[in-house]
Amino acid sequence: MANFYCEYCGKKYSNVKSLTGAPCYRHPNGANKGKHKLYEGSEKTKYTCKYCGTLYPSLISMTGAPCYRHPNGANKGRHSPAL
Ligand SMILES: [Zn+2]
Ligand SMILES: [Zn+2]
């Protein structure tokens, strides 16, 4: 069975319906200010940040760390996975 991940926090769900129905504690608008967003890329052994290129072994560890090349300014946001 496929797994679905949130692009903002890396939380894993078994279906898209429950993913997009639950509040996200790492939503860009603020903690729980919006719902999880489906990560539309495939499951990988390593994920690349689309802003800075740093590699992470999981979406949870990537989205928990600030990105020094974030478009809003250095460390003004977290890494975001490339598809
Ligand atoms: Zn989330
Ligand atoms: Zn980054």
pLDDT in tens, 18-55: 999 999 999 999 999 999 999 999 999 999 999 999 99
Mean pLDDT, rounded, for 50-79: 97
Query: Which ligand is closest to the CA of 51, given by its number?
Result: 2
pLDDT, averaged across the chain: 96
pLDDT at 1: 67
Ligand 1 centre distance from Cα of residue 18 (Å): 11
Kindly list the distances between the CA atom of residue 18 and the CA atoms of 3, 11, 15, 76, in Å, as whole numbers in the listed order.
12, 11, 6, 29
Ligand 1 centre distance from Cα of residue 41 (Å): 15
Ligand 2 centre distance from Cα of residue 1 (Å): 30
pLDDT at 32: 97
Ligand 2 centre distance from Cα of residue 77 (Å): 9
